[in-house]
Structure formats: structure tokens, C-alpha cells
Structure 1
């Protein structure tokens, strides 16, 4: 007796396309960092470069923005501190907490990365046309918003159902 086969999409699922694009972009950023002389940069560091703004941030906030655990973000931060890309300093609003910020070297590396991102965005717009590229960016942003909304609705439904158990 054969086992039933699960349903299969008739084309490559969007999640596969988005994941592949994400991996390609992440890898490309590291390739470019190495080409710019920043051989210490790793793919894992992108989670910091993408969430740390000038002036510093708490690791927990960065982890939430990156969608990773606080422990994972802490590991990446410690590694980047050891590489002189980041520094930790007391949070002026809460002396028990620490703020993560760029060192001068880290600012140079991040600056090179952001300049490359600007160049890459221009290249995408030139390849696909400004209007088509804007549509692609808009659709991706709307997908994120929709998925956040679905998660919130399901979270509300779960907590409502959980409250009725008894």
C-alpha cells in the first residue's frame, strides 16, 4: 500500500524564492566586504549591520529587529567586539544595561557596506526599471505587513481560545 503524497505547489514556492534571494544578498554583501579589504566580515554579522544605527542600541532590541534570539545576537556582538567592529558602553538611561555601538573601524566597514547597498539598489532599478523595482519592493513590504497581521490575528485567536478552556 502506498503512502499518500502531500500536496505540492505547481511552481516554486514564494518562501523558496525569498530565502534564495536573501541568501544571495547576504553572501554578496560579505563578498563585497572582503573585496573592500574587510576580510573579518561574516554572513552572521549582517544581522548587526542591518539593525544597529548610529548612537547605539540594546542587543535585545537588535535581536528583535533581526528576528533572532537574544543569545544569538549576543554571540555575534561579542565576536564583533573582539574584531574591533563594535563596542559596548553603559546605557545612559539604564546603567545596568549596555548599548552596542560601532567603533571607528566598524563605522568604516558599515559605511562601505551601505555605500555598496546604495549602488546595488541602483543596479537593480536599472536592470528591472525604476517602476518594476519599486513594485517588487512594495510587494515584499506588503507581504511582511500581511504576515505580521496574520500572526497577530492568530495570536489573538489563540489567547481567546486559551481563555475559554477550563
Structure 2
């Protein structure tokens, strides 16, 4: 009997890959003192630098709606990973700033992800892994343009 399952499409492949990376990342973070961080928190923490950023900037960087980012920031404030501080450039605006606990998580997450990348680079070789990442970045840029492409097409 043959296997009639279709070959995985790009959505299945990238989704499976993302979940596998997240599983390793968040299990390791939990072991290293950050058991409350969840994948959804990455849309803020992964895009946050030491000096902080406005929620609108985090929304743009992550591709998440501002309301979703606001909800995640609320959760991270409650968990002690970030605080809201006045923006010195515009006192009416607020910056989302990592706390010491947040900086520790960010540093550890980046180290874990770097180790994952090193492991894949060793498995595939530097040239092949670099080509894979470059292709994935190009595909991601193209995919992000789907709406522009669709809107530019004439209606039938």
C-alpha cells in the first residue's frame, strides 16, 4: 500500500520547524529560570533592546497588531520582564523597557537560539546553511508582500 499523503507544503514545513525551535527554546528557558515565558511573549522580547521601544515600534518589528502587542506587554509587566517608562523623546509616549529579569531572559534566549543555529550549521555545513537562511529570508520578504501583489492585480 502506497503513502497517499501529499508532500508537506511551505506552511506545514515552516510551522513544524517553528514549533520545534520554540519547544527547545522555551523548555531550555524554563530550565534556566524563566518558566513563565511563552512563545507569544517572543513578539515583544525578541524585538526589544536594552533601551526599550515604543509599543508601535514593537508592533512594526514583529508584524503583530498593536492591540496584541499591548496585551503581551501587560502580561510581561505582570511577570516582571518589562516595565513601561516615559519616553525621554516624548513624555506623552511610553517605552517598553526590559527589567533585569527581562534582560536575563533576552540574553539567554539569544544564546539558546545561537546554539540551535550552530548545531544546524555544523550538520549542513556553513555554505549550505547560509544559503538556506538567505533563501528563507528572501521567501519571507516575498511572502510579506502578498497583499501588495494581490492589490496590484487587475480585477476580473
TM-score of the two chains, using structure 1 as the length reference: 0.83
Residue 51 of structure 2 is matched in structure 1 by 55
Q: Is the 8 A contact 1:45 1:80 kept in 2?
A: yes
Does structure 2 conserve the Cα–Cα contact (< 8 Å) formed by 1:58 and 1:98? yes
Distance 2:55 2:143 in 1: 25
Q: Is the 8 A contact 1:26 1:46 kept in 2?
A: no
Shift >4 Å, 4+ stretches = none
The equivalences for 1:130-145 within 5 A come to 130-145=126-141
Structure 1: distance between partners of 2:9 and 2:138: 17
**Cα distance between partner residues in 1 of 2:6 and 2:115:** 35
- Equivalent residue, structure 2, for 1:81: 77
Structure 1, unaligned runs of 5 or more: 1-8, 162-166
Indicate the structure (1 or 2) with the bigger Cα radius of gyration.
Answer: 1
Deviation at 1:54, TM superposition (A): 2.0
Q: Do the aligned residues in 2 keep the contact of 1:57 with 1:99 (CA within 8 Å)? A: yes
Instruction: After TM superposition, give the deviation of residue 64 of structure 1 in Å.
Output: 2.3
SS at match of 1:71: helix
SS class of match (1:55): coil
The Cα of 1:75 is off from its aligned counterpart by 1.0
Gapped regions of structure 2 (runs ≥ 5): none
Counterpart contact for 1:87–1:101, Cα < 8 Å: yes
Corresponding residue to 2:87 among 91, 97, 105:
91
* TM-score normalised by structure 2 residue count: 0.87
Of 26, 29, 32, the residue aligned with 2:28 is 32
- Contact 1:30/1:43, CA 8 A, preserved across alignment: yes
